[in-house]
Structure 1
Amino acid sequence: MENTNKSNNPLTILLASPRGFCAGVDRAVEIVKKSIKKFGTPVYVRHEIVHNKHVVKELEKIGTIFVGELDEIKDKTRPVIFSAHGVSKEVVKNAQLQNLTFIDATCPLVSKVHREAEMLNKQGYHIYLIGHENHPEVIGTMGQLDDGSIDLIQTKKDVYNIVLPNNEQKFAYITQTTLSVDDTAEIIKEIKTKIPNIKGPIKEDICYATTNRQNVVKAIAKKCDLFLVIGSENSSNSQRLVEVAKKSGCTNSFLMHENADLPIDKILTCKQLGLSSGASAPEILVENVIVQINKVRGTKVEEISTVEENVSFKLPRDLQ
């Protein structure tokens, strides 16, 4: 049966810009490709290089083997790449003990947080890290220092439960780079109330790409009755975009991960659809979703831009 919506009632898609790959993801993916070009195949990667199944599968096709831990590497003569999320010092030490050739694809903005943690620790600060438990970036950041040097704060409730020592001690906070800007601001407000003299980062730790993508989603979501974010389920920044869209007025906001079905019933009835993608989602996935929507309903795409990004990060010297 022909869909009358397709010809008579085109759907306006408000396409967020910026969206998709950030400079850190671009760099990490390029590191894998350049490593294969330099060293041949296979090249190992510890954990997903970035949190996107499509990217992982495409890199597997050209000779990348993804492993959970270094012990799973069968051929110790082959290079291993550390993911964009960063690793603990223990992982680096293990790689050295096993005489592995390793290449660090940690996003420079995550490395910045690592250096902050080390500097604050040397200056005698006890550190609170605002972030999500078990996220690779958080594990890597906490793993820069000895156990007990950093406490994890996930919610405002965690702030209320902080028990301060009786002795005089200096306190500082740092954050994961892919958090909700607004939620993090609320936690920081609470932690400053609890510990008025707490030291914060000179420049905020939430990265430019996370902030920019959330800002454009805020601008669009209030105009939409359906919002789709393309990204993997384990992608923190993609999950945060869905939350931001909901808080900004579009309660019908969904993550379009690899196994998600297009919400066709909602697409057929909505007036304006917002569309964005997480910082680890390639543009081809956005294009594919628009093609799928076009199969059930005609579309008119309007790109909404709030800022132009021109950030890039250099590759490691050995791969330049």
Structure 2
Amino acid sequence: MSDVPSHLPPLTVLLAAPRGFCAGVDRAIQIVERALEKWGAPVYVRHEIVHNKHVVDRLKNLGAVFVEELSECPTDRPVVFSAHGVPKSVPQEAARREMIYVDATCPLVSKVHVEAQRHFDAGKEIVLIGHAGHPEVVGTMGQLPDGAITLIQDVSEIADFAPKDPAKLAFVTQTTLSVDDTAEIVAALQARFPNVSPPHKEDICYATTNRQEAVKALGAQADLLLVIGSKTSSNSIRLVEVGLRAGAKAAYLIDDAQAIDWAWFEGVRTLGLTAGASAPEDLVEAVIAACRSRFAVSVQPVEVTREDVIFKLPRVVSQAEDA
């Protein structure tokens, strides 16, 4: 029920669940916070720890310094590697420079790295399904020597792909892709190369899958879908695409409530609302509050599953807690 005056037009908010922070994002943010507690400011972070401006700005205020390359970090301060993962050359260089470093790579991204290495050790050529330039893709391709991994971004690229030996082929995927788009690419890859080895377990992470399923569950009912997340966030961009495909009449990616164009709400009676895996819950609450100032809001959760995944922190930043 709403406590907003009844003269305001009604708006039903279908609130997707799960939404927002996943276990890998939560762990990465905690790692930066613990590093700051342990070593004091500044702590350097190579690349945005997660792709969300609000998270990054809050950590900057606590004393984190974000850089794109290790060469920008002094050797006498700790450095944290982002949740997206880094090429093997980065920790090797940090060790060579005798730097203190903490790897905040999501364990589910690390799983993809391990799989790629396993396939390589077995003498297989590897296809990586993902988006060029995304830091997770750069990190995964950087686990192996140049040429060991071929990036495939869409179905059209499979026809031109010529492996050295079609009988020795494996594939892995970026963890934040569209489940449906990836299934289409995988089907085309398997049709052309029937012996291609799949991942031991699907690479698209549980959080990406769950957030997409929640949006699918509410998409057809939504006159408008708002996805809270940054434009650099792959999983957030996918949620907009999934929502439109599921039947939402319109869908937009917004950083926060301030980014809403209220003209979008013309004729809207049902709003779908979700947040990408790197967007904090207070941004969701702020969007609902902004809606309450203009509409008589009724919030209806649309829950497809519950998440209870927790990833342990690296020992180097959890020792004080364990002591």
TM-score normalised by L of structure 2: 0.94
For the residues of structure 1 that align with 2:221 and 2:166, how far apart are their CA atoms?
51
**Contact (CA 8 Å) 1:268, 1:297: kept in 2 or not?**
no
Query: Larger deviation: 90-99 or 119-128?
Result: 90-99
Percent identity between matched residues is 52
Alignment of 1:149-160 (within 5 A): 149-160=148-159
Q: Does 1:54 align with 2:54?
A: yes
Partner in structure 1 of residue 301 of structure 2: 303
Q: Does 1:188 align with 2:180?
A: no
For the residues of structure 2 that align with 1:5 and 1:185, how far apart are their CA atoms?
47
Alignment of 1:116-195 (within 5 A): 116-165=115-164, 169-195=167-193
Change (3 A) 1:6 1:246: farther
Partner in structure 1 of residue 44 of structure 2: 44
Query: Larger deviation: 288-297 or 276-285?
Result: 288-297
Query: Larger deviation: 296-305 or 279-288?
Result: 296-305
- Offset from partner CA, 1:213-246 (integer Å, 9 cap, x none): 0001000011111000000000000000000000
Query: Larger deviation: 291-300 or 172-181?
Result: 291-300
Letter in 1 for 2:315: R
Alignment of 1:209-248 (within 5 A): 209-248=207-246
- Offset from partner CA, 1:265-295 (integer Å, 9 cap, x none): 2324201000000000000111111111222
Partner in structure 1 of residue 102 of structure 2: 103
Q: Does 1:317 align with 2:286?
A: no
For the residues of structure 2 that align with 1:235 and 1:8, how far apart are their CA atoms?
34
**Contact (CA 8 Å) 2:50, 2:278: kept in 1 or not?**
yes
How many residue pairs end up in the alignment?
A: 315
TM-score normalised by L of structure 1: 0.95
**Contact (CA 8 Å) 1:53, 1:258: kept in 2 or not?**
no
- Offset from partner CA, 1:184-224 (integer Å, 9 cap, x none): 00000000011010000111000000000000100001111
**Contact (CA 8 Å) 1:126, 1:169: kept in 2 or not?**
no
The two structures, once aligned, show a CA RMSD in angstroms of: 1.6
TM-aligned CA deviation for residue 10 of structure 1: 1.4
For the residues of structure 1 that align with 2:264 and 2:56, how far apart are their CA atoms?
30
Q: Which runs of 4+ in 1 moved over 6 A?
A: none
Letter in 2 for 1:215: E
TM-aligned CA deviation for residue 258 of structure 1: 5.2
TM-aligned CA deviation for residue 99 of structure 1: 1.5
Partner in structure 1 of residue 198 of structure 2: 200
TM-aligned CA deviation for residue 251 of structure 1: 3.6
TM-aligned CA deviation for residue 128 of structure 1: 0.1
| SS at 1:296 equivalent | coil
| SS at 2:16 equivalent | strand
Letter in 1 for 2:77: R
**Contact (CA 8 Å) 1:268, 1:296: kept in 2 or not?**
no
**Contact (CA 8 Å) 2:36, 2:43: kept in 1 or not?**
yes
**Contact (CA 8 Å) 2:8, 2:294: kept in 1 or not?**
no
| SS at 2:293 equivalent | helix
For the residues of structure 1 that align with 2:305 and 2:6, how far apart are their CA atoms?
32
**Contact (CA 8 Å) 2:226, 2:251: kept in 1 or not?**
yes
For the residues of structure 2 that align with 1:55 and 1:63, how far apart are their CA atoms?
13
Alignment of 1:264-283 (within 5 A): 264-283=262-281
Letter in 1 for 2:155: K
For the residues of structure 1 that align with 2:116 and 2:193, how far apart are their CA atoms?
18
TM-aligned CA deviation for residue 298 of structure 1: 2.1
Unaligned residue ranges in structure 1 (runs of 5+): none
TM-aligned CA deviation for residue 301 of structure 1: 0.7
Partner in structure 2 of residue 78 of structure 1: 77
| SS at 1:281 equivalent | coil
Query: Larger deviation: 119-128 or 90-99?
Result: 90-99
Alignment of 1:279-298 (within 5 A): 279-298=277-296
For the residues of structure 2 that align with 1:268 and 1:292, how far apart are their CA atoms?
16
Letter in 1 for 2:284: V
Letter in 2 for 1:207: C
| SS at 2:108 equivalent | helix
Partner in structure 1 of residue 31 of structure 2: 31
For the residues of structure 2 that align with 1:263 and 1:14, how far apart are their CA atoms?
19
For the residues of structure 1 that align with 2:112 and 2:77, how far apart are their CA atoms?
29
Q: Does 1:14 align with 2:14?
A: yes
| SS at 2:139 equivalent | helix
TM-aligned CA deviation for residue 100 of structure 1: 1.1
